[in-house]
Amino acid sequence: MSRNVTCAFSAAKDAHMTMLYFDFNATTPLSHKSKAAILGMLDQFANPSSKYSLSRHLTTLIKGAKDSMAQLVGGDAQRIIFTSGGTESNNLALHSVFSQFPATQLSRYHAICSAIEHSSILETLFWYQKKGLNLTLIEPKENGRIDLEKLNRTITPQTCLIALMAINNETGVIQPYDELAVSLKGKGIHLHIDAVQAVGKWPLPRFDDIPLTLSFSGHKFYAPKGIGGLYYSQQVKIYPLLHGGGQEYGLRSGTENTLGIAGLAAAAEEACQELPQRLQYCQKMRSHFLNQLDKSGINYHLNGETNPEFQAPWTLNISFPGIRAEALANRLDLCHGISVSLGSACSNNSTSPKRSHVLLAMHAPYSYIDSALRISFGHFTELWAINVLVNALQQEIQHLLTMSGEQI
């Protein structure tokens, strides 16, 4: 029996194998408090829009959840709209910008977007581009960070929108969204910040003096899937994607996801209290992982910022030259019960495999792109698990190189 078959067979047979999870950028497990909050709401079945006393508790829950989220996003609770998650929030924000203009006049307007945005931003803008919108994509520097001077040179009198994410989901590089917000003051240009990888993980400044929208998603910071939201500044008019019963002040109709909101509120409260400690812990995990990797003698290359000021400590995009990332990820999963990612979880839904648009925009060599794994930590990650990961990487890289006739 070949080693490949033995590995798969052993992993399937060993039902009690510990699953070692290193893909917190894709999604996070529920925190204990978030899970408890959801369980405590299971019998609260009333519709929040109803006028009887059975619904009052749910109305209070929604208000409290917005108060908690306002602390995380640095804004006012009354300007938070709950949605199903980051994709809907990003679509709602962009839709609100372009719905101001007659559809036949989109060619008069210009938008700027980084080339490393999430697909829910890029695909929406490409759709409007087909309708006539003038769109400029800005590639990052080789370290994955957008150059603000380069971006500012593309602004024209017709520019109505700039979309720049807070933290890239594949590399963890922190973008200059805060500096951009300051530079846009008084220009009347709408700034959309996809903060899905930042909210609940990274401290955000308050942006209230420019037209701004900011999206977030609960399942990225230990709340359930299916709940997220959009913050909008007072200079922004929201044009709904969904019409119906008038929930969320008529800006997002549909019966509220009270179970999700309960879990979101609990996760937001935890994040507010524990953010500095969680950041410090992730920095410790990252440092330990890289130290162990260096000791192992594994040949690797980090894709992203080397300056820790601009690098989220919970994310590593790392290439292992000479290795196919798919093969390595599969062996880590089947032989060791270790979960890592090839990049964005959303892009894995494509029927035809494509190279990472983020690493391509960074002009990384194909050899780095094709051998790149994304490893992301959370505050549930433990040091012993990182040791297991490094040992497994060493073992499987050696195996794959040997199969290809090379050596570690």
The pLDDT of residue 350 is 55
Q: What's the mean pLDDT in 7-13?
A: 44
The pLDDT of residue 344 is 53
The pLDDT of residue 2 is 42
The pLDDT of residue 7 is 62
Question: Taking a C-beta distance cutoff of 8 angstroms, is the pair 125, 163 a contact?
Answer: yes
Nearest Cα to Cα of residue 242 among 59, 129, 84: 84
End-to-end Cα separation, the chain, in angstroms: 24
The pLDDT of residue 404 is 76
Mean pLDDT for all residues in the chain: 92
C-alpha distances (whole Å) from 342 to each of 3, 171, 331, 355 are 23, 11, 13, 10
Q: How confident is the model over 39-59, as pLDDT tens digits? A: 999 999 999 989 899 989 999
Question: Taking a C-beta distance cutoff of 8 angstroms, is the pair 220, 196 a contact?
Answer: yes
The pLDDT of residue 4 is 47
> Is pLDDT of 5 > 80?
no
Q: What pTM did the predictor assign?
A: 0.93
Tell me the CATH number of domain 32-268, given options 3.40.640.10, 3.40.50.1820, 3.40.50.300, 3.40.50.720: 3.40.640.10
Domain ranges of the chain: 13-27+275-404, 32-268
Chain-centre distance for alpha carbon 69? 17
The pLDDT of residue 122 is 98
> Is pLDDT of 68 > 90?
yes
Q: What six digits make up the tokens of 66?
A: 């917005």
CATH architecture of structural domain 13-27+275-404:
Alpha-Beta Complex (3.90)
Q: How confident is the model over 268-310, as pLDDT tens digits? A: 999 999 999 999 999 999 999 999 999 999 999 999 999 999 9
Q: How confident is the model over 312-322, as pLDDT tens digits? A: 999 999 999 99
Q: Which of 160, 272, 335, 346 is catalytic?
A: 346
Q: How confident is the model over 217-243, as pLDDT tens digits? A: 999 999 999 999 999 999 999 999 999
For 264, phi then psi, to 5°, come to: -65, -45
| 282 a catalytic residue | no
Write the single-letter amino acid at 256: E
For 54, phi then psi, to 5°, come to: -60, -25
Q: What's the mean pLDDT in 381-391?
A: 96
Question: Taking a C-beta distance cutoff of 8 angstroms, is the pair 303, 359 a contact?
Answer: yes
